[in-house]
Amino acid sequence: MAAASLTLTACGGDSGDDSSSSDQVITVDGSEPQNPLVPSSTNETGGGNVIDELYAGLVAYKADGSTVNEVADSIESEDNKTWTVKLKDWEFSDGSKVTADSFVKAWSYGAFIDNAQLNAYFYYPIAGTNDEGNSETPELSGLKVVDDKTFTITLKQAEADFPARLGYSAFFPLPDAAFGSDGKVTKEFGENPITNGPYKMDGEGAWEHDTQIRLVPNENYDGERKPENGGLTFKFYTDLDAAYTDVQAGNLDVLKSVPDSALTTFESDENVQAISEPGSVFQSFTIPQSMPGFGSDEEGKLRRQAISLAINREEITDKIFNGTRTPAKDFSSPLMPGFNEKIEGSEILSFDPAKAKQLWAQADEIKKFSGKFQIGYNGDGGHQAWVDAVSNQLKNNLGIQASGKSYPTFDELRKDVTDRTIRIAFRTGWQPDYPSIYNYLAPVYGTGAGSNDGDYSNKQFDDLINQAAGAQDEDERYKLYSDAQAVLMQDLPAIPTWYTNIAAAAAKGVNNVEFNWQNLPEYHKLTK
């Protein structure tokens, strides 16, 4: 797999060895988490990026996406259906032991339907869950504790690549202290969790809401991602231009995505270190199945296809993003193993205004469209320019009213999406949880999946994804991914737009700036 990885070492008279210190705190950009810092209830990047630094799973992912054992000493199976996990000696940040029960209890809590956890879908392969990953009982029948350092996982079907998923946050452990007397994870724990990863919370008040979260190295951590710095502070920005100005001034160490306003200049900006590399983040906008005129019937499919054909992705990625985005060819990323840019039906992602107008007219013959087509987006993420450009193209090529609707913060947008109170299309994207096309498809478009924000459902797609998960042969698995995507090309539950390249900036004097397969910095390696 081609790795989205680049390491920069600052040069110049002020960055010699005698000025570099591993005990300095690194400041990075972030956004206010939607929910408390509990792995099973976090499926957005604001909280997810923090949680990934606080916790450690059975496996960890290197910068190139390869998998190594982390808390697991071994994960073995004779039939790819029943897996035996043996743990290393490991402690939480409060000194309590990480045991088999720490994993079994956390996963069972995440799957139990009464707990309504957003990441429940990830448990669906495990026996005792339904297709949405939920169990009807508090204890998940597919998990069995053998002893303090051993447990078994029984799946519904053989899945050869199941261990590769176990570095995702839904599979992190929780200490006994996380749970209250009612068996629920307490709000207090989510505000200041006890964790087992490379970092821990910097004491009470480390989470200053709408401002920042402070992390310090976890002295009890002995894994693959040992911090080389004195801590991380995730600073929350509602304006990326302000974040970029802070990088230029040395007030922010790393900005993972530069604002649109700097895309034409950041690589020549002498005040920053520029990072520009191919990336793995998929971007789209989702049209809810409940949106009038855009359901799963013939009218809805025609309108979705017309919308897609009316967008000139090449023009937007060139003029708005200065080539730092690549027009989408599928629903995943070119960096994933098995990527296929010639999915059946993928011509629907081409610019064809004449056909777009024709399909829209066919939909109008079924039922005349009235009203305005809007795309909701978070104003703190630098999305206005492309939303305005797409809206103008829809106006010009379909003759409809179209515009963007700005939410002040990502958290506010996600609240409406999660609560299903949003009544318009809305921007979506996917930063992979582990390096597989499967991860771009099943959690986002599978029936009842936790990140299926548009409530899409297609049995043919679900069946193909399940077959792919159970495929023993790699080539067969990749073909099934392509077949599943062909179904998506027909239905367009979301409109693919482009892949986000890494276009980031670091302040002068920051060392070891390396971006990984998730388009994220290797936070633990950053120094200055």
pLDDT in tens, 401-454: 999 999 999 999 999 999 999 999 999 999 898 889 999 999 999 999 989 999
Residue 198 tokens read as: 């490379």
pLDDT at 498 over 60: yes
Strands 212-217 and 207-208, sheet pairing? antiparallel
| Whole-Å CA distances, 179 to 52, 183, 389, 455 | 20, 5, 48, 31
Where do runs of H (alpha helix) occur along 298-375?
A: 298-309, 313-319, 353-366
pLDDT for 14 beyond 80: no
101-119 per-position pLDDT tens digit: 999 999 999 999 999 999 9
Query: In angstroms, rounded to a whole number, what is the distance separating the alpha carbons of residues 302 and 300?
Result: 5
Report d(CA 52, CA 56) in Å as an integer.
7
Say which amino acid occupies 13.
G
Q: What angle do CA 398, 402, 405 make, to 5 degrees?
A: 155
Q: Please give the average per-residue pLDDT across 190-198, as a whole number.
A: 98
In the chain, the N- to C-terminal Cα span, in Å, equals 30
| pLDDT of 50 | 98
pLDDT given at position 11: 30
∠ CA 255-429-225, nearest 5°, is 50
Percentage, residues of the chain above pLDDT 70:
96
**CB neighbours of 75 closer than 8 A, spacing ≥ 6?**
58, 59, 69, 83, 84, 85, 163, 166
CB 341 within 8 A of CB 349: no
Nearest to 50 by CA among 527, 526, 520, 528: 520
DSSP 375: E
The predicted structure's pLDDT at residue 72: 98
Query: Is a pLDDT exceeding 70 seen at residue 272?
Result: yes
